[in-house]
Structure 1
Amino acid sequence: MSNEPRLLPWTGPEGNPAYVVGDGTGRVSRLADEIEGLQLGMADELLAHAATLLAEPRVTGGELRYIAGCLSDSLRDVKRVAESRGARLGQGNSTSDSRDLLS
Structure 2
Amino acid sequence: MTTSNELRLLPWSGPEGKPCYLSTDDPSGYMSRLADNIEAVQLDEAAELMAAALEALDEQEADPNDLRRLGHDLACALRDVLRVASSRGHLLKASGFHVIEL
Give the TM-score normalised by structure 2. Answer: 0.84
Counterpart in the other structure of 1:10: 12
Question: For 1:14 and 1:46, how far apart are their aligned partners in 2?
Answer: 26
**CA–CA distance in structure 1, aligned partners of residues 83 and 33 of structure 2:** 16
The gaps in structure 1 that reach 5 residues or longer are 92-96
Aligned residues: percent identity? 48
Aligned partner of 1:69 among 63, 69, 72: 72
Choose 73-82 or 7-16, whichever is displaced more. 7-16
Task: State the distance in 2 between where 1:77 and 1:15 align.
Answer: 12
Instruction: Show structure 2 runs of 5+ residues with no match.
Output: 95-99
- Residues 8-87 of structure 1 aligned to structure 2 (within 5 Å): 8-22=10-24, 23-87=26-90
RMSD over aligned CA atoms reads: 1.7
Secondary structure of 1:50's counterpart equals helix
Larger RCO, structures 1/2 (Cα 8 Å, 6+ apart): 2
SS in 2 for 1:69: helix
Q: Which amino acid aligns with 1:83?
A: S
Query: TM-score when scaled to structure 1?
Result: 0.84
Question: 1:4-33 CA deviation, whole Å, 9 max, x = no partner?
Answer: 210000011221100111131211110000
